[in-house]
Amino acid sequence: MAKKQKVIIPEYINSPLNNPMPNYCVYKMKPAEKLLVGLIMFAVGGFVGLIFYSGLFKVDGEATTATYIANIVAFTLVGLIATKFFLPIYNQRCLKKKQARIKQQFRDMLESLTASFSSGSNVQNAFESAAADLSMQYNENEYIVLELNEIINGIKQNINVEVMLENFGIRSGNEDIVSFADVFSVCYRKGGDMNSVIHRTHSVISEKMAIADEIETKLTANKMQHNVMSIMPIVVVAMLKFTNDTFAKNFATVTGVLVNTVAIGIFIGAYVYGNKIVDIKE
């Protein structure tokens, strides 16, 4: 059986102008960021490994060479597992923040477009006005500023605005932006009421974001409790192990190692399940 090849999703996709533009469906950490986050996770994971697995092979309560070797192995092994497990979770959270950012900025763009069309501007002038407005609100490297400048450049080079918006929608991976591009295309070709379409889209997205924010606010306490409960088992075990010699000796046995391993598996499963419970699906 042929081995499945891993599909590599590009961080940038060419626009109709053949310029590389952000792909909002993927987040790729820069090498320095990945190294820093990986080292932090490795160190934290290694420390947790020492809490649960240190002190093995002691003789009469005294550490031996085997004890130090076992400590190093525990620190390295658990650190590597923690890095492998939590790095994708960190990457996924960064992706969600990226997608939330472009959605918020897109809503601001619609607000500016609504004001421009209400004043009687044509399509090109409306987008240019929106770009000018958002340039005062965001810096030049923000996603929506880059997207608006690309759309305006496309219009100036005789590329249909609906083609530019369609490309933006595909790269965004956001159903609201995709739907807006589709509706805009139909309305633009048929000569519909552009002001009404954009105003309605802005209202729908704003309502959805307001509901999501309200749910997020109500879940804040639950998320805090989940984070605290995720850390507490480690804190409790650390306190017992470093303040109670008998407890520490029980950990440094074959049974102790097996129990610790099962407990860590349950702990990780509970953490993942808890994240799914408090996660908001829009």
Question: Averaged in consecutive runs of 10 residues, what is the pLDDT profile of the chain (282 residues)?
Answer: 64 92 93 94 92 81 84 92 91 92 90 84 88 91 94 92 92 88 82 76 80 77 76 82 77 80 82 73 58
Per-residue pLDDT at 278:
65
Rounded to 10 deg, the angle between the 65-118 and 143-156 helix axes is: 50
Per-residue pLDDT at 41:
94
Would you put residue 76 in left (φ > 0), alpha (ψ -120 to 50) or beta? alpha
If you count them, how many residues does the chain have? 282
How far, CA to CA in Å, does 215 sit from each of 101, 110, 212? Answer: 18, 24, 5
Per-residue pLDDT at 221:
74
Per-residue pLDDT at 1:
45
pTM for this prediction: 0.82
| Continuous H helices in 138-253 | 143-156, 161-172, 175-190, 194-243, 245-251
Q: How far apart are CA 48 and CA 212, in angstroms?
A: 35
Would you put residue 3 in left (φ > 0), alpha (ψ -120 to 50) or beta? beta
Q: How far apart are CA 272 and CA 159, in angstroms?
A: 46
